[in-house]
Amino acid sequence: MEEKSSVSPMVLVHRPPAIDFIDEPLSHSFTLLYTHTSPVPIPHFLSSHAASVRAVVSVGRLPMTAEFISNLPSLEIVVCASVGFDHVDLDECKRRRIAVTNAGNAYGEDVADLAVGLLIGVLRRVPALDRYIRSGQYTRLWDYPFGFKLSKKKVGIVGLGSIGSLVAKRLEPFGCIISYNSRSLKPGVPYLYHTDILSLAADNDVLILCCSLTDETQHIVNREVMETLGKYGVIINIGRGGLMDEKEMVKCLMEGMIWGVGLDVFENEPEVPEELFSLENVVLSPHSAGMTLGSLGNVTEFVLTNLKAFFSDQPLIFPVQLD
């Protein structure tokens, strides 16, 4: 196998201008090239300056299309600083035999925490009560709408992977009754398994979406699922915006078909349906579930580990299976 150069390797960092947490740690080991600083269109920049780049670090889930990848003829690895990798054209990576890694469990604990926080926020109307106090309306006791208790709620988790499992463990002390739907039954898991999401919705008060966005899970929560969940149902989405039919979700909320939602993700980010802004039974978060100093430290460590492993012909951590 060809030996990697001892010279500081060049790494292309593909990120939004404001997300710079990874720059300084990477700069100690690699020569960095950035797409966001280019004064010319990205394709021209790549073909002119990045033809020899073998590794790309993808931060902030900016699209890496087949066209983008085609301008990097020497590319051998894409290191995603995210758990999701639907922004990368995996078919093109597979065709080119380009390795892809993700952030594994870097964000898991914090994402699970926010899922529970959103659920409590919706059930107990925490943001609405905060606005009530700040508006000066708090002039007498009990003059505000009541919420619902979390204790002993029946909660259905869509996608019982690493994050879904962490959410379930956090809900157990509340006495919640957990069930789940995943691609297959999880051996040894002490929760009831539902083979389809409709039966999961029919049997629960709450749905928490933790699965990946794929062709199969696009709009997995449609109007039929929401109607099945019912008028006291709550949906929490910390997965991807495309898991829900957002237009139908807005209609169901406006019509009282479901009771409330807590959303960290949206279909067309950063666009958010304006109808949600005035609804007291909606809690919104700007795709920030994993944005803590602890999680960003984990991600930085994983990215550095994968890059160093790649440039020294060592096994990668958290490789994405392309077959």
Hey, which residues are catalytic here? 240, 269, 287
DSSP-derived letter for residue 147 is -
Neighbours of 86 (CB within 10 A): 16
Cβ atoms of residues 247 and 226 within 8 Å: no
Helix (H, G, I), strand (E, B) or coil at 55: strand
Query: Which residues are within 8 A (CB) of 266 and not within 5 positions of it... i.e. 6 or more apart?
Result: 241, 246, 272, 273, 287
Q: How far is CA 288 from the centre of its chain?
A: 9
Q: Which phi and psi angles does 90 have, rounded to 5°?
A: -70, -30
C-alpha 18/C-alpha 41 separation (Å) is 19
208 closest CA partner among 248, 275, 251, 153: 153
Distance CA 144, CA 31 (A): 57
Q: Which two tokens stand for residue 100?
A: 């892809």
